């Protein structure tokens, strides 16, 4: 019995000790890791606003929450000088292509409009993004400088003086805009005109999501006007936008 007891004791000594109970800090760390993984796997929500519509609504609305400054609720946009295609149509075509790409990449997409015959004021467009708890809002437009030699794209972002948005939201909108610029340039090879700081954009000022308004090209420039209406160039623009959105979240 003595030998047997000594043998059992020897075995117990060489066996690994029981794993100690997880302490409070370790539990908290594990919980945070699990929550982080779940958050990263959650689909990001992108709201796409194809700017303008078939008919303008010239009645007025505040250009930001509690603002005394009023602007038209929504305009019908410009028209290509050479193609005579409406800006609203180009914006919608790119928006639908971008939606398809983003969904394929695993994003959840909320569309402000899918048709021309709508009447959605700019503050309402932001409200659609806010109700969807969008992680980013992409506003698509084409520009009209009125000068045929001007060409290229640029991105409008709120300035640090914007009184309608928090500092964090302004910074995130700037980050989004900066991600979009090189991505669009790489896909389209268009002239990158950089950032334009704007605090008068109603749809941006009412947004609670990081927001970028992309002026995709000049519709009074012959070459750009003709490019913007082609499905191939619209696809390049949509790919650039999608790649910029990817860069923003990763």
Domain ranges of the chain: 45-249
Could you list the pLDDT tens digit for every one of the 250 residues in the chain?
Answer: 444 455 444 444 444 455 455 566 666 765 665 455 445 547 999 999 999 999 999 999 999 999 999 999 999 999 999 999 999 999 999 999 999 999 999 999 999 999 999 999 999 999 999 999 999 999 999 999 888 899 999 999 999 999 999 999 999 999 999 999 999 999 999 999 999 999 999 999 999 999 999 999 999 999 999 999 999 999 999 999 999 999 999 9
Neighbours of 44 (CB within 10 A): 18
According to CATH, the topology of domain 45-249 is Aminopeptidase (3.40.630)
State pTM to two decimals: 0.84
Q: Please, which residues have CB within 8 angstroms of residue 133's CB and are 6 or more apart in sequence?
A: 45
Q: Phi and psi at residue 136, in whole multiples of 5°?
A: -160, 150
Interatomic CA distance for residues 125 and 211, integer angstroms: 12
Pairing between strand 108-111 and 45-50? parallel
The order of strands in the sheet holding 211-218 is 108-111, 45-50, 136-143, 211-218, 153-157, 192-197
């Amino acid at each position: 019995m003595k030998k047997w007891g000594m043998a059992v004791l020897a075995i117990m000594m060489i066996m690994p000790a029981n794993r100690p109970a997880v302490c409070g800090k370790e539990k908290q760390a594990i919980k945070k890791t699990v929550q982080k993984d779940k958050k990263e796997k959650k689909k990001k929500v992108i709201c796409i606003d194809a700017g303008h519509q078939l008919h303008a609504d010239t009645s007025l609305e505040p250009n930001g929450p509690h603002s005394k400054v009023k602007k038209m609720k929504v305009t019908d946009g410009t028209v290509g000088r050479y193609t005579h295609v409406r800006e609203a149509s180009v914006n919608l075509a790119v928006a639908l292509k971008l939606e398809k790409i983003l969904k394929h990449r695993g994003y959840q997409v909320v569309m402000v409009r899918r048709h021309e015959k709508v009447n959605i004021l700019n503050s309402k467009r932001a409200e659609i993004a806010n109700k969807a708890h969008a992680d980013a809002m992409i506003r698509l437009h084409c520009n009209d400088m009125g000068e045929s030699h001007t060409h290229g794209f640029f991105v409008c972002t709120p300035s640090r003086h914007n009184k309608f948005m928090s500092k964090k939201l302004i910074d995130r909108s700037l980050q989004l805009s900066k991600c979009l610029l090189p991505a669009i340039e790489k896909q389209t090879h268009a002239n990158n005109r950089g950032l334009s700081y704007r605090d008068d954009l109603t749809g941006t000022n009412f947004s609670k999501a990081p927001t970028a308004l992309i002026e995709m090209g000049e519709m009074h420039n012959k070459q750009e006007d003709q490019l913007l209406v082609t499905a191939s160039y619209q696809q390049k623009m949509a790919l650039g936008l999608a790649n910029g959105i990817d860069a923003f979240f990763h």
